[in-house]
Amino acid sequence: MFSKKNLSKIDWPLVIIPVLAVFCLSFILIKLPTASQNLLQSWRSFLCGKLTPYYLIIGLLFLLSTLFFGFSKYGKIKLGEQNSKPEYPMLKWGMMIFTSTMSADIIFYSLCEWMMYANEPLIKTKPNKLEWSLTYSLFHWGPIAWSFYIMLAVAFGYMIYVTKNKKQKFSEACRPLLGKAIDGWLGKIIDLVAIFSLIAATATTFSMSMPLLSTAVKTIWGFANVKTLSLILILLVVSIYLVASIIGMKAISRLSIVAFTFLGFLLAFILFDSGSLGFTIVSSAKALGNLITNFIPMAATVENKSFTQNWTVYYWAYWMVWCVATPFFIGSISKGRTIRNLIFCGYFWGLLGTYLSFFILSNFGISRQIDGLINTVSLVNHGNSYAEVIVLLMKTLPHYQVGLILLILAMIGLYSTVFDSITMVISKYSYKSLLVSEEPSKLMRGFWAVVFVLLPLALILTDTSFVNIQSVAIIAAFPTGIVMVLIVVSFWKKVVTMK
């Protein structure tokens, strides 16, 4: 329980305002589903139509910033004392980075994103549309996306272990630029933006990929009501990451290994049980080659404005809303590493895990489509949900039951690891001040673990559309992007002027 001393340390506006907002938004979504979804769509149309360059410029800024700090003399700066050694060995550190950033949506998108692109006019103009569908997946989950996490992880790690700020908040990273203004209403606004952004991120992730988990469980064990099953599975995931976050970093690091192992088993099983090893190698090489040779025009959106507005803006926004907590977690586990090590090893582990998932899972579906075993694109066009189509795709495996069980275990594990890490971070934001050596109370972590599931439950219960779920991330990313730029500029100012 909280003592009076602990209660006085809590930053109550940062706890009460977001909770009230979540209850209000959830109530509105449930009571006024049509009106609220129309409003989401209109806001998305405005942001994508008028402010597309805003999202794209932020992406390029972060990518170039990581390259500058990685290759420059500043890359030698150690996050911690000069004689300090990395707190976690490289393999465990890499697993924690990947599993804290990649929730179960990595499995969902790897299996079906290529289907989403198949009917896009831009893709239809390509000589091999399925190959280029995978190419754009690699782009949207590639270096620019990971630069959001990595650049902010460097800034947060520097704040925690070099300057040793007493506050562990999103706003605190802006102090070198904004000074004492951070201690007033401006700091509160920045932290509220961060918390709302993270709530939007969790809502988007749960709402997008939870139907796949529910459909897979229903297929294996048989449940009539998918919504009820989704509720049960969400509560199961909450229970797992609640226990892990309460126990602390040891449980989080062990859970990340378990989740990474389940994902590895799933990828290996599908690769060999599907018999598509040769196709996967050739197709992956072609898609990666397309990405390398066309990266600049893809990043500069000179090919197709409509595709960029529909997809690239969404993905940059989706990664941006997760930047509130994920980079803070990466920075906090990077004590003893240099900036250069964090940047380049962070890219290595992030891209390795992400690309392996897309290489294997996407090519599994593409090979089935080409061989005529299942026409997933046609099924989606005729109204089948992505979750239903993915399960039908899995059923083309000789031992599909094993594949579905591994998918279920991997999704639950990845859900749990990413949410226990962000629960730890957001709990730190809830205090007026917190030293590096201090951890938030177990009750505070448990409180946020419950709050995080309220909005996604509302989105699932109201059958919010795929497009409107995307809109939640795009809208929340707009103010978050401003703060992200402030943090990078603040870090630049602090490091460059450091004597």
pLDDT tens-digit readout, 76-95? 999 988 888 898 899 989 88
Tell me the percentage of the chain whose pLDDT exceeds 90. 34
- Residue-level pLDDT at 291: 95
Tell me: pLDDT of 1 over 50.
no
Which residue has better confidence, 31 or 150? 150
Average pLDDT over residues 278-297: 94
Which residue has better confidence, 223 or 403? 403
In whole numbers, what is the pLDDT of the chain averaged over residues?
A: 84
pLDDT band at 281, cuts 50/70/90? Answer: very high
Highest-confidence segment of 49-53, 91-95, 264-268: 264-268
Tell me: pLDDT of 101 over 90.
no
Structure-block tokens of residue 303 = 């090919």
Tell me: pLDDT of 3 over 60.
no
Q: What's the rounded Cα separation, in Å, for the pair 297 and 134?
A: 17
Average pLDDT over residues 214-228: 80
Backbone φ/ψ region at 372: left (φ over 0), alpha (ψ -120 to 50), beta:
left
Tell me: pLDDT of 246 over 70.
no
Contacts of 148 (CB under 8 A, 6+ apart): 59, 62, 316, 319, 320, 322, 323, 327, 484
Per-residue model confidence as pLDDT tens digits over 428-440: 777 777 766 677 7
Do 458 and 30 meet the contact criterion of CB atoms below 8 Å apart?
yes
* Strand partners for 338: 78
- Residue-level pLDDT at 363: 96
- Residue-level pLDDT at 2: 46
Average pLDDT over residues 367-378: 93
Highest-confidence segment of 61-75, 120-134, 179-193, 247-261: 61-75
Structure-block tokens of residue 490 = 């603040």
pLDDT band at 22, cuts 50/70/90? Answer: confident
Do 9 and 269 meet the contact criterion of CB atoms below 8 Å apart?
no
Tell me: pLDDT of 454 over 90.
no
CB atoms under 10 Å from CB of 301, counted, come to 17
Tell me: pLDDT of 237 over 90.
no
Whole-number Cα distances in Å, 330 to 6, 57, 324, 430, 478: 26, 24, 11, 19, 23
Per-residue model confidence as pLDDT tens digits over 293-332: 999 888 876 566 788 888 888 889 888 888 877 888 899 8
pTM: 0.87
pLDDT band at 403, cuts 50/70/90? Answer: very high
- Residue-level pLDDT at 144: 95
- Residue-level pLDDT at 245: 59
Structure-block tokens of residue 495 = 């490091």
pLDDT band at 467, cuts 50/70/90? Answer: low
- Residue-level pLDDT at 463: 64
- Residue-level pLDDT at 303: 62
Distance of CA 297 to the CA centre of its chain: 25
Which residue has better confidence, 380 or 249? 380
Q: What's the rounded Cα separation, in Å, for the pair 318 and 474?
A: 7
Contacts of 237 (CB under 8 A, 6+ apart): 412, 415, 416, 419
Per-residue model confidence as pLDDT tens digits over 181-220: 888 888 888 888 888 887 777 777 777 778 888 889 999 8
Angle at CA 233, nearest 5°, toward 229 and 238? 150
Whole-number Cα distances in Å, 300 to 46, 51, 146, 305: 20, 14, 17, 10
